[in-house]
Structure 1
Amino acid sequence: MTKQLILCDCLGSQTLDREALSRATGLPCSRVHTALCTREIDSAAEAIAAGEAIVACAQEAPRFEELAVELGTAAPLCVDIRDRAGWGEGGESLAKMSALIAEARLDAPPAKTVDVTSDGLCLILGRADVALPAAERLADTLAVTVLLLDGADDLPLSRRYEVITGDLKRAQGSFGNFTLRLDRLRMLEPGGRGDFVLSPPRNGAETGCDLILDLSGNTPLFPAPHKRDGYLRADPGSASAVAEAVFEAAQMLGTFEKTLYLTLEEHLCAHSRAGQVGCTRCLDICPTGAISPEGEHVTVDAMICAGCGACSSLCPSGAIKYDAPPAAHLVTRVRTLAEAYRAAGGAAPRLLVHDEDHGTGMIALSARFGRGMPADVIPLAVPALAGFGHAEMLAALASGFAGVTILPGPRTERDPIGREIALATAMGGAGRVALLDVDTPDAMSDALYAETAQATDVSPVLLMGDRRQVARLAAKAQMPGQDSPVPLPDGAPYGAVLVDTDTCTLCLSCVSLCPSGALIDNPDLPQLRFQEDACLQCGICATVCPETAITLEPRFDPGDGAMAQKVLNEEEPFCCIECGAAFGVKSTVEKIVEKLAGKHSMFTGTDAARLIQMCDDCRIRAQYHSADNPLGSRDRPRVRTTEDYFGQRRDH
């Protein structure tokens, strides 16, 4: 069945060209309604009942979904072309509407989830005047324990919840599985006449709970507390904030779905090798502490991960990938927007990347009460703004966007975004990638209208492969004719390895520990070779080099030479004095002979010194046939026969 675009000009507040939209999108369009969600709801019902309807209105999506339930049919796809295009100023919005509709029709891969069960075990922290009233309100819904932080001068007589005192020394875990350690724990003794009393204090008590309501006003128990599932925190001095937190806690009983945001391929991780630490980008940037070292790689606690995506954008090897949805789907969305915009007659579009909450609200308010957005600015809502890294920025430029602007929210991690913008700028995006850090919708609109973008002469390219390959292809497209390497900021995941040939002994310890295979040996000759496009700049090679002969140079080589193997250091091999086979490094063998022959107790003899100059096979043969053969043993005893036993009996 052919999909149909159902149009509404929202009480005449936007201009819609039915025929032009049909040509641009390739979809049949309904007549332009004026009040599809109210007076003309029957037309919407008819279209939804027929199936395959695309409603060009996102504001009333819940209303249309309810209508679909009543009709017993699938909910229609609702796409916002009003706030994001129809209510803007300064240009024809047809191309933009066509791009938004094309992008909305893409099927997103389903997110992976895991069930998290909460039995309602709730720990409330705070002073008695705040924590006890909160406990009274939650006691009918949750199993509440109150940890009083101001002593126990006036213990409640209610037994609807537990009351304890003590020092909370450690809190770990997440929603449904918090673990706590307390010192000086005193529990309420419920027996006896008069006021309740507390038990003697004890240290090292451990317990668990499903959620924590922190009304203490002290330092948060966890980093990035707003990102820790099951940890609710409110200012005890704000009655409204406390009431909101109590209400939210009351809902946290039952089974919930936890999205699994990341995938980890441990064998690609460049964290460490042989105890030598290399890359720590994800460990340094994770705001929640969900990532920790585990041997030669890192591990991700999926229950703590809040899905900000910063680690995936910074990971040089692609070991950590954002998977809700995958990065490849994000690149597909970007390419679809650019292709549909150009196909509808648009030129030099700009991409505005924002989060799904704050940014969407800013755009809606700007459209309703202000100037909206320019017709050449196409918004793209992403689930993880910090995960939109240099690869995605460059992919947008290579797909045909004249510029990329990132609109952060109040709680967006700006450090990883800033680093990725600097990297994208150095890799061909100079002057075309920016951070728009504004506080109001009007300020956002003014900034977007104040800038204009010029069409580039770079033809869109087909981007394939993982994020690293996409970044290389996209960056190369932005540097036509550039064959020499360009410098990159410190910490960039691309670059060269420089070797001081005067100090390098070709021990090849760097080769054995290189996690990406960028450093390579030659099995036939004493050579250290290097393939630049594989280098992650993790630094393990420089750390393990016993001669400190290696340094790193962050840079990007857009030429094909980056994919070829280059010789960083080589020497003449030493030839075995017995068989003539090449082995080892001539200068190294000669130095060993010079230092040991005739000077060390084990190499005082002529024959012993010659062993140093032999290959492995000849050395073994020479030692086996030597007078003091270290590989030999005493002669094997003669095998006794039956005749030997009979002869022995006759002799006796």
Structure 2
Amino acid sequence: MNIRFTDMPPLEPVQDGRDAQARSAAVLAADAIPVYEASVTVNYRSGGRTLVVGSAANALPWADRLAAALPVTVLLLDNQDTMPVRPYPVHVARTVAVAGWLGSFEARWQAPGRPVEQGRFDLVLDLSPSRLIPSHQRPNGYYAPGYDDDARAQAVEAMFEMVGDFEKPKYFSYKERICAHGRNGQEGCTACIDICSAQAIAGDGDKIKVNPYLCAGCGACSTVCPTGAISYAFPPAALTGKRIQAALRSYREAGGSAPVLLLHDPEHGAALLAQLGDAIPGRVIPLALQHTASTGIDVWFAAIAYGASGISVLMTGHEAPQYTAALDQQMEIAQAVLDGLGYDGPHLQLLRVDAPEELAVALRHAPRGLAPSEPAVFHLANDKRNTLDYALDHLHRHAPQRPEQVALPPGAPFGAIEVNRSACTLCMSCVGACPAGALQDGQGVPLLRFIEKNCVQCGLCATTCPENAITLTPRLSFMETRNQPVVLNETQPFHCIRCDKPFGTLQMVENMLGRLGSHPAFAGHLDRLRMCGDCRVIDMMEPRDEMRVTTLRRD
């Protein structure tokens, strides 16, 4: 796209000038919020042991330069008639594998006809044709500059400085108790694993594990997490909320109208905005984030509740592609809610631009959606679901329309479940699988209860159900019953025909009779399926050739 600034329709100069002055006040107010110091850090130690991988023509000249200050080992990927003589180890390798991070890289390689060798390194200069570590976000200490000599020179200069002790914030916090990844060996939500561009998150049984040394702090995992089990710890959501609230309040008090928050990263996005200068519309308030993938529906809903007419998120092409897909989905969900409440929109804009001309045009069409008539005063919580509760309650209370529920697209973290009563045996497997407390048993009575407000639509209940009796229904409910337990299924308990103790439900016993009636253990003894576990064992152990009298109670 090659559009000149003069090709754009003119702004209303008076209002745009007033908005620009209000924007200045908003930016000052946001910048006045102090940034928290990281309370927990991740520490690296590098002794400078460097691995260089590539062909002889590519690797050896740069290895020679690095060897002037660092201990170097080279792996050559091409054949060598005569091994080059160097004051550092040089190996020929046909296969190479590298994993790790600054101060803790592990490399394995093998030459033809030789056993596998391995080594540990602090730094890696990867000059191979295909990157050895393919993740979009590269680990600290790993340099893969490609074929450009200037980029290679910059990488080598940076490596000279990577000796010593280093630290970074621990960007995330994790609450295993409410994680929806899995229960009882059944897999549920994998959103954080799928989106992590550093490959720092992996499944670990029913929970996840996050490698803090690989985590790059993009915050995308917290954006897509439905429960808030993984959250952004640095900077925390509460700090971002204070900055947004202060900016919008100052903008409003200075006489600005229809403000749009432009969320951007502090490097590439900020550089692109700097090229625009005065071409940025006055009502657009730039707000730098640690990463543009670190905010989602909780922050956006809160910003609109505070009075924003729209949210624009600037992506410059340097982000991982899965971030764009995730933000697209988040915006679809958020806009569906706002549309359902009658707020004229659109309110959300995902910008994918890498040139100032394109950005200028896009910002002239920034969202101008309807905001609540009364700005909210709540503060963002570090607990994602609490923030959503506050924001959605405010948006519904001041909405042009106040429906009891709003239909949402699949993947939304809100919804109900439907239970097929004829199939459900009330085994309560779903209750044990639910990570959010949305499903509850009857406290000794055979009934299944559901609290819709707690449901995050992770699907663990449906996956766990042995009868396939559960279906997810994505929606957002504003009914009073959303906070209250609602009975989805109930029945009378089935009593043991021998001791009269309740041990299940009629549906469950009928299912067992249908499935196990032909099993050799029960052939000719179907009444055992109508007995509790204790009585079943007693009946099986009693001698068959002795006369006995047993009173069987039949329903």
Q: Same fold (TM over 0.5)?
A: yes
Residue number in structure 2 paired with 1:324: 234
Structure 1 gaps of 5+ residues are: 1-87, 186-200, 630-652
Q: Is the 2:227–2:385 contact (alpha carbons within 8 Å) kept by the matching residues of 1?
A: yes
Q: Which of 172, 180, 197 is the equivalent residue of 2:99? A: 172
Q: Is the 1:391–1:424 contact (alpha carbons within 8 Å) kept by the matching residues of 2?
A: no
Rounded Cα–Cα distance in structure 2 between residues aligned with 1:599 and 1:259 = 60
- Match of 1:331, SS state, is helix
Residue number in structure 2 paired with 1:147: 75
1:521 aligns with 2:441: yes
Q: Is the 1:89–1:373 contact (alpha carbons within 8 Å) kept by the matching residues of 2?
A: no
1:157 aligns with 2:157: no
Deviation per CA, 1:400-451, whole angstroms, max 9, x where unpaired?
A: 1011111112212312221221221122165101112222223322322344
Deviation per CA, 1:6-27, whole angstroms, max 9, x where unpaired?
A: xxxxxxxxxxxxxxxxxxxxxx
Per-residue deviation at 1:231? 1.1
Q: Which of 282, 287, 300 is the equivalent residue of 1:380? A: 287
Per-residue deviation at 1:627? 7.5
- Match of 2:154, SS state, is helix
Per-residue deviation at 1:278? 0.8
Residue number in structure 1 paired with 2:152: 242
- Match of 2:386, SS state, is helix
Rounded Cα–Cα distance in structure 2 between residues aligned with 1:455 and 1:627 = 77
Cα–Cα, structure 1 residues 559 and 573, in superposed 2: closer, same or farther, change >3 Å? Answer: same
Q: Is the 1:291–1:299 contact (alpha carbons within 8 Å) kept by the matching residues of 2?
A: yes
1:467 aligns with 2:384: yes
* Residue identity opposite 1:570 in structure 2: E
Rounded Cα–Cα distance in structure 2 between residues aligned with 1:328 and 1:140 = 48
Per-residue deviation at 1:136? 1.5
- Where in structure 2 are the equivalents of 1:125-140 lying within 5 Å? 125-140=53-68
Rounded Cα–Cα distance in structure 1 between residues aligned with 2:420 and 2:483 = 22
Q: Is the 1:463–1:474 contact (alpha carbons within 8 Å) kept by the matching residues of 2?
A: no
1:440 aligns with 2:355: yes
Q: Is the 2:494–2:506 contact (alpha carbons within 8 Å) kept by the matching residues of 1?
A: yes
Q: Is the 2:404–2:477 contact (alpha carbons within 8 Å) kept by the matching residues of 1?
A: yes
Structure with the greater alpha carbon radius of gyration = 1
Cα–Cα, structure 1 residues 349 and 278, in superposed 2: closer, same or farther, change >3 Å? Answer: same
Q: Which of 110, 128, 136 is the equivalent residue of 2:37? A: 110
* Residue identity opposite 2:463 in structure 1: T
Rounded Cα–Cα distance in structure 2 between residues aligned with 1:173 and 1:391 = 34
* Residue identity opposite 1:469 in structure 2: N
Rounded Cα–Cα distance in structure 2 between residues aligned with 1:231 and 1:489 = 40
Rounded Cα–Cα distance in structure 1 between residues aligned with 2:18 and 2:83 = 69
Q: Is the 1:225–1:231 contact (alpha carbons within 8 Å) kept by the matching residues of 2?
A: no
Residue number in structure 2 paired with 1:573: 493
Per-residue deviation at 1:566? 1.3
Q: Is the 2:404–2:479 contact (alpha carbons within 8 Å) kept by the matching residues of 1?
A: yes
TM-score, normalized by length of structure 2? 0.85
Rounded Cα–Cα distance in structure 2 between residues aligned with 1:352 and 1:597 = 66
Rounded Cα–Cα distance in structure 2 between residues aligned with 1:276 and 1:520 = 19
- Match of 1:338, SS state, is helix
Q: Which of 166, 178, 183 is the equivalent residue of 1:273? A: 183
Per-residue deviation at 1:157? 3.1
Rounded Cα–Cα distance in structure 1 between residues aligned with 2:173 and 2:521 = 57
Residue number in structure 2 paired with 1:536: 456
Deviation per CA, 1:474-498, whole angstroms, max 9, x where unpaired?
A: 2343343433322222222221111
Residue number in structure 2 paired with 1:122: 50
Residue number in structure 2 paired with 1:198: none
1:420 aligns with 2:340: no
Per-residue deviation at 1:96? 1.9
Q: Is the 2:127–2:146 contact (alpha carbons within 8 Å) kept by the matching residues of 1?
A: yes
Rounded Cα–Cα distance in structure 1 between residues aligned with 2:53 and 2:467 = 55
Q: Is the 1:89–1:372 contact (alpha carbons within 8 Å) kept by the matching residues of 2?
A: no
Residue number in structure 2 paired with 1:309: 219
Cα–Cα, structure 1 residues 535 and 215, in superposed 2: closer, same or farther, change >3 Å? Answer: same
Q: Is the 2:298–2:388 contact (alpha carbons within 8 Å) kept by the matching residues of 1?
A: yes
Q: Which of 206, 209, 230 is the equivalent residue of 1:299? A: 209
- Match of 1:227, SS state, is coil
Q: Which moved more, 1:223-232 or 1:112-121?
A: 223-232
Q: Which has the higher contact order (CA 8 A, sep 6+)?
A: 2
Rounded Cα–Cα distance in structure 1 between residues aligned with 2:519 and 2:349 = 67
Q: Is the 1:308–1:386 contact (alpha carbons within 8 Å) kept by the matching residues of 2?
A: yes
Cα–Cα, structure 1 residues 591 and 382, in superposed 2: closer, same or farther, change >3 Å? Answer: closer
Cα–Cα, structure 1 residues 89 and 95, in superposed 2: closer, same or farther, change >3 Å? Answer: closer
Rounded Cα–Cα distance in structure 2 between residues aligned with 1:391 and 1:265 = 18
* Residue identity opposite 2:31 in structure 1: A
Q: Which of 460, 466, 478 is the equivalent residue of 2:395? A: 478
Rounded Cα–Cα distance in structure 2 between residues aligned with 1:303 and 1:180 = 17
Rounded Cα–Cα distance in structure 1 between residues aligned with 2:516 and 2:161 = 78
Cα–Cα, structure 1 residues 293 and 520, in superposed 2: closer, same or farther, change >3 Å? Answer: same
Residue number in structure 1 paired with 2:7: none
Q: Is the 1:276–1:540 contact (alpha carbons within 8 Å) kept by the matching residues of 2?
A: yes
Per-residue deviation at 1:344? 2.6
* Residue identity opposite 1:267 in structure 2: R
Q: Is the 1:118–1:253 contact (alpha carbons within 8 Å) kept by the matching residues of 2?
A: yes
Rounded Cα–Cα distance in structure 2 between residues aligned with 1:211 and 1:290 = 18
- Where in structure 2 are the equivalents of 1:197-212 lying within 5 Å? 201-212=113-124
Q: Which moved more, 1:488-497 or 1:147-156?
A: 147-156
Residue number in structure 1 paired with 2:551: none
Cα–Cα, structure 1 residues 583 and 329, in superposed 2: closer, same or farther, change >3 Å? Answer: same
Computed over aligned residues only, the root mean square deviation of the Cα atoms, in angstroms, reads: 3.0
- Match of 1:421, SS state, is helix
Q: Is the 2:493–2:503 contact (alpha carbons within 8 Å) kept by the matching residues of 1?
A: yes
Per-residue deviation at 1:154? 4.6
Rounded Cα–Cα distance in structure 2 between residues aligned with 1:382 and 1:460 = 23
Rounded Cα–Cα distance in structure 2 between residues aligned with 1:594 and 1:129 = 73
Cα–Cα, structure 1 residues 428 and 463, in superposed 2: closer, same or farther, change >3 Å? Answer: farther
Q: Is the 1:125–1:213 contact (alpha carbons within 8 Å) kept by the matching residues of 2?
A: yes
- Where in structure 2 are the equivalents of 1:550-589 lying within 5 Å? 550-574=470-494, 584-589=504-509
Per-residue deviation at 1:98? 2.0
* Residue identity opposite 1:286 in structure 2: C
Deviation per CA, 1:129-186, whole angstroms, max 9, x where unpaired?
A: 2211111111111111111111223533331x2211113342111111000111127x
Q: Is the 1:122–1:213 contact (alpha carbons within 8 Å) kept by the matching residues of 2?
A: yes
Q: Which of 135, 142, 149 is the equivalent residue of 1:231? A: 142
Rounded Cα–Cα distance in structure 2 between residues aligned with 1:311 and 1:482 = 32
* Residue identity opposite 2:395 in structure 1: Q
Residue number in structure 2 paired with 1:97: 24
Rounded Cα–Cα distance in structure 1 between residues aligned with 2:379 and 2:499 = 54
Q: Is the 2:261–2:311 contact (alpha carbons within 8 Å) kept by the matching residues of 1?
A: yes
Q: Is the 1:283–1:292 contact (alpha carbons within 8 Å) kept by the matching residues of 2?
A: yes
Q: Is the 1:385–1:408 contact (alpha carbons within 8 Å) kept by the matching residues of 2?
A: yes
- Match of 1:158, SS state, is coil
Q: Which of 393, 413, 417 is the equivalent residue of 1:493? A: 413
Q: Which moved more, 1:405-414 or 1:294-303?
A: 405-414
TM-score, normalized by length of structure 1? 0.73
- Match of 1:436, SS state, is strand
Rounded Cα–Cα distance in structure 1 between residues aligned with 2:66 and 2:299 = 46
Cα–Cα, structure 1 residues 239 and 89, in superposed 2: closer, same or farther, change >3 Å? Answer: farther
